[in-house]
Amino acid sequence: MPTATRARDLRTTGSHAVRRERQPRVRGWRSVVLALLAALLVTGVLRGTVVDVYWIGSDSMQPTVQPGDRVLVDKLVDPSALERGDLVVFDGRGSFAPLHSDDPWPVQVLQTLGRWTGLTGSESVYLKRVAGVPGDTVSCCGPSGRIEVDGEEIVEDYVLAGDRPSEIEFTVEVPEGRLWLMGDHRSASVDSRHLLGAPGGGLVRADKVIGEPLAVLWPRDRAGQL
Protein backbone atom coordinates (compact mmCIF):
# COMPACT_ATOMS: atom_id res chain seq x y z
CA MET A 1 0.00 0.00 0.00
CA PRO A 2 2.71 2.53 0.78
CA THR A 3 4.21 1.84 -2.62
CA ALA A 4 0.86 2.43 -4.39
CA THR A 5 0.33 5.61 -2.39
CA ARG A 6 3.70 6.98 -3.45
CA ALA A 7 2.90 6.18 -7.10
CA ARG A 8 -0.36 8.12 -6.88
CA ASP A 9 1.46 11.00 -5.25
CA LEU A 10 4.02 11.03 -8.04
CA ARG A 11 1.34 11.06 -10.74
CA THR A 12 -0.55 13.82 -8.98
CA THR A 13 2.56 15.90 -8.53
CA GLY A 14 3.48 15.41 -12.17
CA SER A 15 0.01 16.50 -13.29
CA HIS A 16 0.27 19.65 -11.25
CA ALA A 17 3.69 20.33 -12.75
CA VAL A 18 2.23 20.10 -16.26
CA ARG A 19 -0.52 22.52 -15.33
CA ARG A 20 1.96 24.95 -13.85
CA GLU A 21 3.99 24.82 -17.08
CA ARG A 22 0.96 25.36 -19.30
CA GLN A 23 -0.48 28.30 -17.40
CA PRO A 24 2.49 30.64 -18.08
CA ARG A 25 2.33 29.66 -21.76
CA VAL A 26 -1.38 30.54 -21.94
CA ARG A 27 -0.72 33.85 -20.21
CA GLY A 28 2.11 34.48 -22.68
CA TRP A 29 -0.17 33.96 -25.67
CA ARG A 30 -2.80 36.18 -24.12
CA SER A 31 -0.23 38.93 -23.73
CA VAL A 32 0.78 38.58 -27.38
CA VAL A 33 -2.86 38.73 -28.54
CA LEU A 34 -3.59 41.77 -26.34
CA ALA A 35 -0.46 43.52 -27.62
CA LEU A 36 -1.51 42.87 -31.22
CA LEU A 37 -5.03 44.15 -30.55
CA ALA A 38 -3.62 47.27 -28.87
CA ALA A 39 -1.28 47.86 -31.83
CA LEU A 40 -4.20 47.48 -34.26
CA LEU A 41 -6.28 49.92 -32.21
CA VAL A 42 -3.51 52.53 -32.09
CA THR A 43 -2.86 52.09 -35.82
CA GLY A 44 -6.56 52.47 -36.55
CA VAL A 45 -6.80 55.67 -34.52
CA LEU A 46 -3.70 57.14 -36.19
CA ARG A 47 -4.91 56.22 -39.67
CA GLY A 48 -8.33 57.60 -38.93
CA THR A 49 -7.22 60.93 -37.51
CA VAL A 50 -3.55 61.74 -38.18
CA VAL A 51 -1.95 60.03 -41.18
CA ASP A 52 -2.95 57.34 -43.63
CA VAL A 53 -1.63 55.55 -46.70
CA TYR A 54 -3.50 55.53 -50.02
CA TRP A 55 -2.86 53.41 -53.07
CA ILE A 56 -3.04 55.25 -56.41
CA GLY A 57 -4.55 53.21 -59.21
CA SER A 58 -4.94 55.68 -62.09
CA ASP A 59 -2.64 57.73 -64.31
CA SER A 60 -4.60 60.97 -63.88
CA MET A 61 -1.87 62.60 -61.76
CA GLN A 62 1.18 61.75 -63.85
CA PRO A 63 4.01 62.70 -63.70
CA THR A 64 3.62 63.76 -60.03
CA VAL A 65 2.09 60.45 -58.93
CA GLN A 66 2.31 57.20 -60.86
CA PRO A 67 -0.14 54.28 -60.93
CA GLY A 68 0.77 51.88 -58.13
CA ASP A 69 2.25 54.53 -55.84
CA ARG A 70 1.43 54.35 -52.15
CA VAL A 71 1.12 57.86 -50.78
CA LEU A 72 1.38 59.07 -47.17
CA VAL A 73 -1.42 61.54 -46.42
CA ASP A 74 -1.56 64.14 -43.64
CA LYS A 75 -5.14 64.14 -42.31
CA LEU A 76 -4.65 67.16 -40.02
CA VAL A 77 -4.79 69.63 -42.92
CA ASP A 78 -7.13 72.62 -42.62
CA PRO A 79 -9.19 72.73 -45.85
CA SER A 80 -9.72 76.48 -45.49
CA ALA A 81 -5.93 77.00 -45.63
CA LEU A 82 -5.44 75.22 -48.97
CA GLU A 83 -3.86 77.17 -51.80
CA ARG A 84 -3.76 76.84 -55.56
CA GLY A 85 -1.29 74.15 -56.55
CA ASP A 86 -1.74 72.06 -53.39
CA LEU A 87 -2.40 68.34 -53.73
CA VAL A 88 -5.43 66.90 -51.93
CA VAL A 89 -6.98 63.53 -51.27
CA PHE A 90 -10.75 63.85 -50.97
CA ASP A 91 -13.97 61.90 -50.67
CA GLY A 92 -15.61 62.10 -54.08
CA ARG A 93 -19.03 60.80 -53.05
CA GLY A 94 -21.66 63.25 -54.19
CA SER A 95 -19.35 64.83 -56.77
CA PHE A 96 -16.79 62.62 -58.53
CA ALA A 97 -18.31 59.30 -57.39
CA PRO A 98 -21.82 57.90 -56.79
CA LEU A 99 -23.28 58.35 -53.34
CA HIS A 100 -23.74 54.63 -52.79
CA SER A 101 -21.95 51.49 -53.94
CA ASP A 102 -23.93 48.74 -55.69
CA ASP A 103 -21.42 46.04 -54.73
CA PRO A 104 -22.65 43.28 -52.39
CA TRP A 105 -21.48 43.54 -48.77
CA PRO A 106 -18.81 40.79 -49.01
CA VAL A 107 -17.17 42.69 -51.87
CA GLN A 108 -17.38 45.94 -49.90
CA VAL A 109 -15.71 44.25 -46.90
CA LEU A 110 -12.86 42.98 -49.09
CA GLN A 111 -12.48 46.43 -50.64
CA THR A 112 -12.32 48.00 -47.18
CA LEU A 113 -9.65 45.52 -46.08
CA GLY A 114 -7.70 46.20 -49.26
CA ARG A 115 -7.82 49.96 -48.70
CA TRP A 116 -6.87 49.59 -45.03
CA THR A 117 -3.82 47.50 -45.88
CA GLY A 118 -2.87 49.80 -48.77
CA LEU A 119 -3.10 46.98 -51.32
CA THR A 120 -5.97 48.52 -53.29
CA GLY A 121 -7.46 51.93 -53.86
CA SER A 122 -10.93 53.29 -53.26
CA GLU A 123 -13.59 53.95 -55.87
CA SER A 124 -14.73 57.05 -54.00
CA VAL A 125 -11.40 58.59 -52.88
CA TYR A 126 -9.41 60.70 -55.33
CA LEU A 127 -6.13 62.60 -55.52
CA LYS A 128 -6.18 65.86 -57.50
CA ARG A 129 -4.57 69.29 -57.52
CA VAL A 130 -6.26 72.48 -56.33
CA ALA A 131 -6.73 74.72 -59.37
CA GLY A 132 -9.13 77.18 -57.78
CA VAL A 133 -9.89 78.29 -54.21
CA PRO A 134 -12.82 80.38 -52.89
CA GLY A 135 -12.93 83.76 -54.60
CA ASP A 136 -11.06 82.63 -57.73
CA THR A 137 -12.44 82.85 -61.25
CA VAL A 138 -10.81 80.02 -63.19
CA SER A 139 -11.11 79.78 -66.96
CA CYS A 140 -9.69 78.13 -70.03
CA CYS A 141 -7.95 79.37 -71.80
CA GLY A 142 -5.88 82.55 -72.12
CA PRO A 143 -4.18 83.95 -75.24
CA SER A 144 -1.22 81.58 -74.74
CA GLY A 145 -3.42 78.56 -74.13
CA ARG A 146 -2.83 78.55 -70.39
CA ILE A 147 -5.34 78.40 -67.55
CA GLU A 148 -6.36 81.83 -66.31
CA VAL A 149 -7.10 82.75 -62.70
CA ASP A 150 -8.78 86.13 -62.23
CA GLY A 151 -7.85 87.05 -65.78
CA GLU A 152 -4.13 86.24 -65.47
CA GLU A 153 -2.46 83.23 -67.08
CA ILE A 154 -0.67 80.91 -64.67
CA VAL A 155 2.32 78.64 -65.23
CA GLU A 156 1.63 75.00 -64.35
CA ASP A 157 4.97 73.23 -64.59
CA TYR A 158 3.46 70.11 -63.00
CA VAL A 159 1.24 69.34 -66.02
CA LEU A 160 2.37 66.26 -67.95
CA ALA A 161 4.69 67.20 -70.81
CA GLY A 162 2.83 67.25 -74.13
CA ASP A 163 -0.59 67.81 -72.54
CA ARG A 164 -2.54 70.99 -73.12
CA PRO A 165 -3.62 72.81 -69.93
CA SER A 166 -7.17 71.87 -70.89
CA GLU A 167 -9.01 70.69 -73.96
CA ILE A 168 -12.29 71.72 -72.35
CA GLU A 169 -13.23 75.39 -72.31
CA PHE A 170 -14.76 76.62 -69.07
CA THR A 171 -15.22 79.59 -66.80
CA VAL A 172 -16.13 79.05 -63.18
CA GLU A 173 -16.32 81.21 -60.08
CA VAL A 174 -15.34 79.30 -56.95
CA PRO A 175 -17.68 80.10 -54.04
CA GLU A 176 -16.90 79.90 -50.34
CA GLY A 177 -16.40 76.38 -49.05
CA ARG A 178 -15.69 74.90 -52.49
CA LEU A 179 -12.65 73.88 -54.54
CA TRP A 180 -11.96 73.50 -58.27
CA LEU A 181 -9.79 70.39 -58.74
CA MET A 182 -7.86 69.12 -61.75
CA GLY A 183 -5.42 66.30 -62.50
CA ASP A 184 -1.86 66.84 -63.73
CA HIS A 185 -2.34 64.44 -66.66
CA ARG A 186 -4.94 66.70 -68.18
CA SER A 187 -5.80 64.53 -71.19
CA ALA A 188 -6.45 61.48 -68.96
CA SER A 189 -7.89 63.09 -65.83
CA VAL A 190 -11.62 63.08 -65.12
CA ASP A 191 -11.99 66.06 -62.80
CA SER A 192 -13.99 69.21 -62.09
CA ARG A 193 -14.04 70.12 -65.79
CA HIS A 194 -16.06 67.01 -66.66
CA LEU A 195 -18.77 67.75 -64.09
CA LEU A 196 -19.74 71.22 -65.26
CA GLY A 197 -23.26 70.08 -66.12
CA ALA A 198 -23.72 67.98 -62.98
CA PRO A 199 -25.15 69.15 -59.66
CA GLY A 200 -22.52 71.32 -58.01
CA GLY A 201 -20.90 72.14 -61.36
CA GLY A 202 -17.73 70.20 -60.60
CA LEU A 203 -17.00 72.20 -57.45
CA VAL A 204 -15.99 69.96 -54.55
CA ARG A 205 -16.91 70.83 -50.98
CA ALA A 206 -13.81 71.72 -48.97
CA ASP A 207 -15.04 69.63 -46.04
CA LYS A 208 -14.73 66.55 -48.28
CA VAL A 209 -10.95 66.91 -48.20
CA ILE A 210 -9.43 63.95 -46.33
CA GLY A 211 -5.88 65.20 -46.27
CA GLU A 212 -2.80 66.44 -48.08
CA PRO A 213 -0.29 64.01 -49.64
CA LEU A 214 3.16 64.30 -48.09
CA ALA A 215 5.30 61.69 -49.79
CA VAL A 216 5.42 58.58 -51.90
CA LEU A 217 6.24 55.62 -49.64
CA TRP A 218 6.36 52.89 -52.27
CA PRO A 219 7.78 51.78 -54.67
CA ARG A 220 11.21 52.33 -53.12
CA ASP A 221 12.75 53.90 -56.21
CA ARG A 222 10.10 56.67 -56.13
CA ALA A 223 10.02 57.21 -52.36
CA GLY A 224 10.32 60.83 -51.33
CA GLN A 225 8.44 64.07 -50.78
CA LEU A 226 5.86 65.26 -53.26
**φ, ψ dihedrals at 61, nearest 5°:** -115, 15
pLDDT over 70 (residue 16): no
Query: Cα–chain-centroid distance for residue 77?
Result: 13
Banded model confidence at residue 31, pLDDT cuts 50, 70, 90: confident
- CA-wise closest residue to 170 among 136, 212, 216, 208: 136
Cβ-based burial of 18 (10 A; exposed 0-12, middle 13-18, buried ≥19):
exposed
Cα distance between residue 59 and residue 189, in whole Å: 8
Q: Where are the domains of the chain?
A: 1-49, 50-225
Mean pLDDT, rounded, of the chain: 82
- CA-wise closest residue to 200 among 175, 182, 165, 168: 175
* All residues at 6 or more sequence positions from 20 whose CB lies less than 8 Å from its CB, including other chains: none
Cα distance between residue 150 and residue 40, in whole Å: 48
3-state secondary structure of 207: helix
**pLDDT at position 120:** 44
Banded model confidence at residue 29, pLDDT cuts 50, 70, 90: confident
Banded model confidence at residue 30, pLDDT cuts 50, 70, 90: confident
pLDDT over 90 (residue 22): no
- Over residues 49-65, the mean pLDDT reads 91
Please give the CATH topology (third level) of the domain spanning 50-225.
Answer: Umud Fragment, subunit A (2.10.109)
* All residues at 6 or more sequence positions from 5 whose CB lies less than 8 Å from its CB, including other chains: none
pLDDT, tens digit, 9 for 90 and up, residues 58-100: 999 999 999 999 999 999 999 999 999 999 999 998 888 754 4
Cα distance between residue 40 and residue 47, in whole Å: 10
pLDDT, tens digit, 9 for 90 and up, residues 94-153: 888 754 444 554 544 444 555 555 544 567 899 999 999 999 999 999 999 999 999 999
